[in-house]
Amino acid sequence: MLEIVLHHPGGWADRASLSRVVELCRAAGAAIDDAQCAEQLGIVAGYAADLFSEQTHKKWDRSNLSGADFLRLEIMRALHSVSRRLSEIEAARLGR
């Protein structure tokens, strides 16, 4: 997902990128039985829908940052949260 967000900047109706992100979010959610991860993956899918839209990304515009860039940062933040949570789960599983 991170590769898609890094290499496909959004800001237009990119259905292929959106479909791929949504597909990956669903697959990850099915593989990970954790409420926190599920919540963050839902956030990723929602932000991706706005990022890869014709106009909706503009509602996220900031004075110093385009809506598309803001959404990309938020997606990266949510993916980092998933990664951190997976590390916590793995550490607990290993008894650390």
pLDDT score of 96: 74
Extract the residue ranges of the chain whose pLDDT is less than 50. Answer: none
pLDDT score of 36: 97
Burial of 37 (0-12, 13-18, 19+ CB in 10 A): buried
pTM over 0.85, yes/no? yes
pLDDT score of 88: 96
